[in-house]
Amino acid sequence: MSDYEHIVISAVRYAIGRMTYMTELTVNYVMKQIEEDKLSDQCLGIIKKDIKAAKDLGMECDKEQWLKLLNRIEEVI
């Protein structure tokens, strides 16, 4: 994986469980990168695993964002 992908994974890990604007900002950014085909299946697999392993995805609105990203990842890999 590229350094860029490692940074994206780090951003996701930072944002999981946060209850701020960071959740939506991060999810939207990753979704855009998926649409532009900038993330490998390996990278997306790690993000998928991290979302599924999270004990707390935040408030309901945050959880909806993470599940939206998870569903999109599952569609493309």
- Tokens 């979302």: give the residue: 51
What is the SS3 assignment for 36?
coil
List the chain domain ranges: 3-76
Instruction: Provide the whole-model pTM.
Output: 0.95
The helix (H) or strand (E) run that includes residue 67 is helix 60-76
Digitized pLDDT (tens) for each residue of the chain, 77 residues in all: 999 999 999 999 999 999 889 999 999 999 999 999 999 999 999 999 999 999 999 999 999 999 999 999 999 99
